[in-house]
């Protein structure tokens, strides 16, 4: 987590319509001289009476100090009936800590700008808020005591006509947000703290010309301050209720707020603000295009931004910046490391939304995303307790195949339901989604795809918005991408970030979003992934209201989903070797590391007249969170100037890092719990643990399933990750038990596990006599041999298959990437299988790429986290065709092709026997219209899958589920089902490669008849499913083997 430091500039330059922008000021309140601000409350007749007819006083707040010279007497002195009191720095901060508070950032009169006594207009009034928190590091020497985060809503309103003849009859429109003229004719806005200039910010009484009624358009600010002050008082007297005596003063809430403004003005000195002009017909600057490269994994996600700066001959790697996530619940925190792919539904709050609307502005500080990701999502998950369900999920990418609407609506955290009403983002966004969670704009654009995904739904149903958030698990991938894309959209124009970049005053424009693909993902899932990515952009534009009325200077980014993750990793190594170590001498490097081969293409053998040429054949094994992928690429070159990659072989298995983590839980963590509980006298410890975590039981409640999941994620999972982290740092052949630590020592964060989550385990054992079970006391052994065995048992068959392929294709180099590749057992297994000599096997986390690499380990030399190699490789792909000196790669050749060469029905262990093969993926078989379509006998739900090679031992992957309509009457079995394969057209058009490859996997039910020869085709379904089970993954269910 990075602490953002305020920039040192005379003013801040904001870019209009770039969301909520944050500016951070760390400060030390102890740097201020202790100077209490004295306030005077003076009564005056209000003209109102009590129910008894007694006169009712109003109170006016007066300033009891001299701004020019605090040592001189103030203009106002306490009178006989006045109340007077002082507000210290601490009391000024107290009601507003950890709360968003509106603050006056008003437009400066042009004539007075830059003078000592600047004058301000009466607005904008609802576009800047501040949140002050105590700094986590305040106890450290020289550290700030507090952090102030200013949030600026950069939305811009249209100008109001100023025709004189309408002025007397036109309704009053408060000046709540900057207007177009403030941008086109740049105006400056300043932070106002002088009490004498705050009258109109706290009260703006206006008469309605039509009704004659008087309205205070700034009453919302006073109500806001009262609300926060009452919350402070309630907390201070809890558990008793508030009494009138707890409020000795009438306007103390306003006095403390003025004290806060005064404190910020003295210690922070907030900068003046102006806008860069992007709205006029001929803006001064053309925006800098920025590309976002994303590697979205099942376990973690990583991103990088590339700026295409004007007036530079080439882009180069120096124009990149790692993607940062702003924590919206704790906005002083910014995360720049790869983050968990976990998502949680949550409203982004910037204070009481109902009070904000009372200002006359209906949508201020609007964040157009349903979910949070990364550390914030993890924290929200851990705070969820055990009473809520369907609030989040471990990895939307894992469920891309599951396009069916959820039976239960997704929920936000309970605190987001103010007065029992769905949060504003939920109410707004459902207008643009159908019941499956598909974005309506995208459904209209790709109706054929969505009709294929939902064959039982009509076109009208697919284009109808849903009143409930019954979104499919697949659609949550859209929401996750929308959050990440919006974070990037806001980040690139953050004034703090731009101030540290070249051409700091020039606006940035998100130009392209490039998302890497798993190496051998089924092409059907590729199409879904592309549609979801484009849906994310469309959804953001819909929710912001920009689809129909796009602001000038704002254009939607282009979405590109094409380059595979393993190829990206190879390019990182290739660039580091050829360019940085060999000075761009491609032929020299290929002759050293590779060997001569006959040039060929991905679609066919070498030409008859081909002659051997220097080449390099590289295999990369990427062990991710959800898949283990292999890519073998043969590299040739042209004139020692350009690299021509030929994808030679690819494979992917859905056994990977998360399965290793599960194995560690089952083989190291749970046995430690079992042994400790048995030592405490619980005879049936394993049976009790199996009951709690081994699956559902009769009459299990939603709360119990949620608590089980929470316990696994907050206790078992962190312990497993700590054990694996320790094993990562161990020597390669260390097999001993090196230490025994208590759970509290190994995972200090366990102390924060909520009591109700702990009780899921402790109460169960209390019923068996163990009353004082403390999780922190459970001993956990760092048994590296047990961890090694867990890795081997999980990945043995996968690495057997991959090593066989690497050996068969005579590779010159093997690269190991993905976080689990850091586990010594993984490298040990690859070396033991000798696909190449050990000196030609490289673990990417140990690779030293050079100073150009944007992510590096703590020593500043090695890559450290191999997860980052994919996104950096994606950056090289984006630049390599024209913008990197000495490194030109024909990336158009890095296109994905199907690996579903043999399709059939799977046995229970995901084996595809030869007699079960229904289709082969040769082009001749697809083209042939005379081939008899296969018929199978259906008795119950069947899994259809594929493998790439004609060997029964080769691991197969699930692809489809053949099942009957459970809502209809039972069919007479067996049902004879005839399957057919899709035809493809325009096979010579390279732009149709994805469609052509997808057709090889596209199956449909052609005929179905039951045992009575009746046509039951309408009652049979073939739906995409690329997981072994339709249920939830262990990270989402909390079910483990005990």
Supply the pLDDT for residue 607. 85
- Cα angle 429, 553, 314; round to 5: 115
Write down the domain spans for the chain: 12-26+96-160+175-275, 37-87, 288-556, 583-654+790-858, 657-784, 902-1037
Summarised one tens digit per residue, pLDDT across range 303-338 is: 999 998 866 645 456 678 899 999 999 999 999 999
Q: Which of 1030, 1025, 1028, 1029 is nearest to 960 (CA)?
A: 1025
Instruction: Classify the C-alpha dihedral 348-349-355-358 as positive or negative.
Output: negative
Provide mean pLDDT across the span 776-786. 95
Summarised one tens digit per residue, pLDDT across range 905-936 is: 998 778 899 999 999 866 444 444 445 789 99
Provide mean pLDDT across the span 702-706. 88
The two domains 288-556 and 583-654+790-858 share their CATH topology (first three levels equal) = yes
Supply the pLDDT for residue 389. 63
Q: Which token pair is 161?
A: 């006509």
Q: Does domain 288-556 have CATH number 1.10.150?
A: no
Lowest mean pLDDT among 25-39, 312-326, 623-637, 851-865: 312-326
Provide mean pLDDT across the span 883-889. 84
Q: Are 645 and 317 in contact (CB under 8 A)?
A: no
Mean pLDDT, the chain, integer: 89
Q: H or E element: which one contains 925?
A: helix 923-927
Q: Are 519 and 630 in contact (CB under 8 A)?
A: yes
Integer Cα distance of 1016 and 1018 in angstroms: 5
Supply the pLDDT for residue 111. 62
Summarised one tens digit per residue, pLDDT across range 585-603 is: 999 999 999 999 999 988 7
pLDDT bin (cut points 50, 70, 90) of residue 164 is very low
Q: Are 865 and 300 in contact (CB under 8 A)?
A: no
Task: Say which DSSP state 715 is in.
Answer: I
Summarised one tens digit per residue, pLDDT across range 113-142 is: 656 678 999 999 999 999 999 998 888 888
Q: Are 789 and 667 in contact (CB under 8 A)?
A: yes
Q: Are 703 and 1029 in contact (CB under 8 A)?
A: no
Supply the pLDDT for residue 927. 43
Supply the pLDDT for residue 165. 47
357: Cβ contacts below 8 Å, ≥ 6 apart: none
- Name the phi and psi angles at 371, rounded to 5: -130, 160
Summarised one tens digit per residue, pLDDT across range 215-274 is: 899 999 999 999 999 999 999 888 889 898 889 999 999 999 999 999 999 999 999 999
837: Cβ contacts below 8 Å, ≥ 6 apart: none
Supply the pLDDT for residue 931. 57
Supply the pLDDT for residue 245. 86
Reduce the DSSP state of residue 68 to 3 states and report it: coil
Supply the pLDDT for residue 443. 97
- Homologous superfamily (CATH) of 583-654+790-858 is ATPase, nucleotide binding domain (3.30.420.40)
Supply the pLDDT for residue 977. 95
Supply the pLDDT for residue 10. 64
Provide mean pLDDT across the span 887-902. 85
Supply the pLDDT for residue 53. 67
Supply the pLDDT for residue 921. 65
Integer Cα distance of 396 and 525 in angstroms: 13
Provide mean pLDDT across the span 722-751. 90
Reduce the DSSP state of residue 653 to 3 states and report it: strand
Provide mean pLDDT across the span 800-809. 96
Supply the pLDDT for residue 137. 84
Task: Say which DSSP state 74 is in.
Answer: P
For residues 991 and 115, the model is more confident at 115
Q: Which token pair is 361?
A: 């502005």
Integer Cα distance of 155 and 161 in angstroms: 19
Q: Which of 423, 530, 529, 806 is nearest to 651 (CA)?
A: 806
Lowest mean pLDDT among 55-59, 663-667, 808-812, 999-1003: 55-59
Reply yes or no on whether the pLDDT at 168 is more than 60.
no
Supply the pLDDT for residue 192. 96
């Amino acid at each position: 987590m990075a602490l953002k430091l305020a920039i040192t500039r005379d003013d801040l330059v904001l870019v209009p319509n770039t969301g909520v922008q944050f500016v951070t000021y760390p400060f030390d309140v102890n740097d201020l001289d202790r100077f209490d601000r004295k306030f005077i409350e003076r009564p005056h007749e209000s003209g109102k009476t009590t129910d008894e007819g007694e006169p009712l006083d109003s109170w006016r707040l007066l300033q009891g100090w001299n701004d020019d010279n605090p040592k001189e007497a103030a203009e106002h002195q306490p009178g006989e009936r006045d109340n007077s009191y002082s507000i210290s720095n601490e009391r000024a901060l107290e009601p507003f800590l950890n709360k968003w508070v509106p603050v006056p950032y008003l437009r400066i009169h042009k004539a007075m700008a830059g003078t000592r006594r600047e004058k301000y207009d009466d607005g904008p009034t609802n576009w800047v808020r501040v949140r002050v928190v105590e700094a986590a590091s305040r106890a450290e020497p020289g550290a700030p005591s507090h952090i102030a985060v200013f949030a600026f809503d950069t939305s811009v309103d249209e100008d109001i006509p100023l025709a004189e003849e309408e002025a007397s009859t036109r309704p009053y429109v408060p000046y709540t947000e900057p207007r177009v003229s403030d941008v086109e004719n740049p105006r400056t806005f300043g932070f106002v703290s002088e009490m004498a200039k705050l009258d109109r910010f706290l009260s703006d009484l206006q008469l309605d010309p039509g009704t004659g009624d008087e309205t205070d358009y700034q009453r919302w600010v006073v109500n806001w301050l009262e609300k926060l002050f009452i919350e402070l008082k309630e907390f201070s007297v809890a558990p008793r209720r508030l009494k009138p005596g707890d409020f000795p003063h009438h306007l103390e809430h306003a006095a403390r707020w003025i004290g806060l403004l005064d404190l910020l003005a003295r210690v922070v000195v907030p900068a003046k603000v102006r806008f860069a002009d992007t709205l006029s017909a001929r803006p001064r600057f053309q925006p800098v295009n920025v590309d976002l490269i994303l590697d979205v994994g099942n376990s973690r996600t990583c991103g990088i931004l590339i700026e295409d700066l004007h007036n530079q001959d080439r882009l180069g790697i120096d124009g990149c910046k790692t993607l940062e996530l702003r924590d919206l619940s704790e906005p002083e925190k910014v995360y720049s490391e790869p983050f968990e792919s976990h998502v949680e539904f949550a409203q982004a709050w910037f204070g009481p939304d109902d009070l904000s609307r009372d200002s006359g502005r209906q949508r201020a500080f609007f964040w157009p995303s349903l979910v949070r990701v990364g550390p914030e999502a993890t924290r929200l998950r851990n705070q969820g307790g055990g009473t809520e369900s369907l609030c989040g999920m471990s990895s939307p990418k894992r469920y891309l195949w599951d396009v069916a609407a959820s039976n239960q609506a997704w929920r936000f955290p309970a605190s987001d339901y103010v007065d029992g009403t769905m949060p504003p983002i939920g109410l707004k966004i459902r207008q643009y989604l159908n019941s499956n969670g598909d974005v309506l704009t995208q459904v209209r654009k790709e109706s054929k795809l969505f009709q294929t995904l939902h064959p039982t739904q009509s076109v009208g149903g697919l284009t109808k918005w849903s009143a409930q958030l019954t979104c499919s698990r697949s659609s949550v991938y859209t929401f996750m991408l929308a959050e990440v894309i919006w974070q990037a959209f806001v980040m690139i124009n953050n004034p703090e970030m731009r101030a540290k970049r070249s051409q700091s005053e020039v606006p940035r424009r998100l130009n392209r979003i490039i998302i890497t693909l798993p190496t051998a993902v089924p092409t059907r899932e590729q199409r879904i992934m592309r549609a979801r990515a484009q849906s994310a952009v469309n959804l953001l534009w819909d929710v912001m209201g920009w689809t129909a009325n796009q602001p000038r200077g704002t254009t939607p980014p282009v979405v590109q989903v094409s380059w595979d993750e393993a190829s990206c990793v190879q390019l990182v190594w290739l660039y580091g070797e050829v360019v940085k170590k060999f000075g761009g001498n491609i032929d020299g490097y290929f002759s050293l590391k590779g060997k001569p081969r006959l040039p060929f293409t991905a679609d066919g053998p070498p030409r008859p007249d081909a002659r051997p040429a220097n080449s390099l054949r590289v295999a990369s094994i990427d062990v991710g969170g959800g898949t283990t992928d292999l890519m073998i690429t043969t590299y040739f070159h042209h004139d020692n100037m350009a690299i021509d990659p030929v994808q030679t072989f690819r494979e992917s298995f859905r056994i990977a890092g998360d399965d290793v983590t599960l194995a560690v839980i089952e083989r190291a963590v749970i046995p430690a719990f079992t042994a400790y509980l048995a030592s405490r006298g619980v005879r049936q410890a394993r049976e009790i643990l199996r009951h709690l975590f081994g699956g559902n039981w009769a009459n299990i409640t939603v709360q119990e399933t949620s608590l089980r999941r929470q316990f696994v994620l907050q206790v078992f999972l962190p312990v497993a990750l700590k054990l694996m982290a320790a094993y990562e740092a161990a020597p390669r052949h260390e097999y001993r038990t090196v230490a025994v630590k208590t759970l509290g020592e190994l995972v200090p964060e366990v102390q924060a596990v909520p009591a109700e989550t702990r009780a899921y385990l402790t109460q169960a054992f209390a019923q068996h006599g163990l009353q004082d079970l403390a999780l922190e006391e459970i001993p956990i052994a760092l048994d590296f041999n047990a961890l090694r065995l867990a890795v081997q048992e999980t990945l043995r068959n996968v690495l057997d298959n991959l090593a066989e392929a690497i050996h068969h294709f005579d590779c010159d180099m093997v690269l190991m990437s993905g976080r689990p590749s850091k586990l010594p057992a993984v490298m040990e297994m690859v070396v033991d299988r000798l696909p190449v000599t050990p000196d030609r096997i490289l673990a990417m986390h140990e690779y030293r790429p050079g100073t150009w690499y944007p992510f590096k380990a703590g020593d500043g030399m090695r890559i450290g986290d191999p997860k980052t190699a994919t996104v950096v490789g994606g950056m090289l792909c984006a630049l390599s065709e024209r913008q990197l000196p000495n490194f030109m790669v024909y990336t158009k050749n890095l296109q994905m092709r199907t690996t579903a060469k043999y399709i059939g029905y799977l046995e229970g262990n995901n084996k595809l026997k030869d007699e079960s093969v229904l289709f082969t993926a040769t082009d001749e078989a697809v083209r042939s219209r005379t081939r008899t379509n296969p018929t199978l006998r259906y008795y119950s739900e069947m899994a259809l899958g594929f493998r790439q090679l004609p060997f029964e031992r080769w691991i197969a992957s699930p692809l489809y589920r053949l099942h009957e309509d459970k809502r209809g009457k039972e069919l007479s079995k067996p049902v004879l089902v005839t399957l057919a394969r899709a035809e493809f057209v325009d096979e010579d058009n390279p732009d149709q490669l994805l469609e052509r490859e997808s057709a090889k996997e596209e199956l449909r039910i052609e005929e179905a008849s039951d045992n009575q020869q009746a046509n039951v085709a309408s009652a049979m379904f073939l739906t995409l499913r690329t997981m072994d089970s339709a249920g939830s993954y262990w990270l989402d269910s909390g079910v483990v083997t005990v």
